[in-house]
Structures are given as C-alpha cells and as structure tokens.
Amino acid sequence: MASLDAPMIVVTASDGVRIAGCLVGFSGQSSIIPTRYVVYLSKINHTYRVARRSTHLMVHFLANDQLDLARHFGELTGDETAKFDGVRWKPGPDGSTPLLTECGTHMWGRIERRHHRDGDHGAFVLAPLSTRTARDFEPLRFHDVCNLDPGHPLHEK
C-alpha cells in the first residue's frame, strides 16, 4: 500500500458552531454518474466529530509547495489548538465551512452518505457542488508527508 503515493488533502467542516480541519490521505472519486467523491476521516480526530454534524465539507487539494499547510493541519489537533488562527481562510459558499484561501484547487460538496461502522476511519460521500482547479497544479503526495507527527496517535488508547 505504501507504493500508492496518494495526493494529500485538507478537509474542513463546520457544524454551525465549530469549525475544524485536518490533513487527509484517504480520498477519491467514487462514482461517475452521479458524480461522487469520498473522504475518510479518522474517528479519533476533532474534524471527524464536527463533520458528523455537518451538511457540507470543503476538500482542499494541496499543491507540492504546501508542506507547511500540511504540517499545520496534520500535526496539530483541534482538541488542543485553534487550528485556523494564523491560517488564511474565509467562509465557503454556505457561509460557514472554511475555505483555505491559499489552496487554489478545492471542492465544496454536500454530504450524501456517511459510513462509520467498520475500521478506524469514517467515510463521507460527497456530491460536488462547486470546484476550482489552479493552473499547473502538482499535488503534494503521501511520500512528502509520511514523516509528520500526527496530532493524534494512530489508535485510541
């Protein structure tokens, strides 16, 4: 599985009260008709808890020069840190879900389905509502971030 050098994303969420965001390595298009995109969030993550109460998610595709942003959203935990302090963002199309303004490639989607029964990650199936792609986009990949120290341990204790 390590040879599958996945593009890295930051997923942001808002439940109307709290905002959250985290670095994500598990995501991909899951249907052509209708168009669907799935993201998997760690169940021990603050963003997962906020996303469970959200109706929409914002998916930010990190460019290969955005390692600092990956480090910020991957090594800090929203349980202990106000992650959006010091990060440029604005409310997304719904007026609530954070849009990281330095990410030129992103997708905003409505949560159509949630799957939480199996494994240590929950799946959120999104119907894309708006997308933007930056020119000459080259993604940040798993091999670029594999040495980061996650904000949470990989497993609950």
- The chain-wide mean pLDDT, for the chain, equals 89
Query: CA dist 3 to 30, 105, 140, 143, Å?
Result: 21, 24, 15, 9
Better-scored residue on pLDDT, 1 or 40:
40
pLDDT value at 26 more than 80: yes
Q: What is the pTM of this model?
A: 0.90
Beta partners for 40? Answer: 123
Specify whether the CB–CB gap between 96 and 14 falls below 8 A: yes
Of these ranges, 33-42, 78-87, 131-140, the one predicted with the greatest mean pLDDT is 33-42
Q: What's the confidence (pLDDT) of residue 83?
A: 83
pLDDT value at 105 more than 60: yes
Q: What is the mean pLDDT of residues 109-132?
A: 94
Q: What's the confidence (pLDDT) of residue 147?
A: 77
The fold for domain 9-145 equals Pnp Oxidase; Chain A (2.30.110)
Is the N-terminal amide bond of 139 cis, ω within 30° of 0? no
Which two structure tokens, joined as six digits, stand for 118?
């199996």
Is the N-terminal amide bond of 34 cis, ω within 30° of 0? yes
pLDDT value at 1 more than 70: no
Left, alpha or beta for 86 (phi > 0: left; psi -120 to 50: alpha)? left
Three-class secondary structure of residue 70 per DSSP: helix
pLDDT value at 155 more than 70: no
Q: What is the mean pLDDT of residues 148-157?
A: 59
Q: What's the confidence (pLDDT) of residue 30?
A: 95
Q: What's the confidence (pLDDT) of residue 123?
A: 96
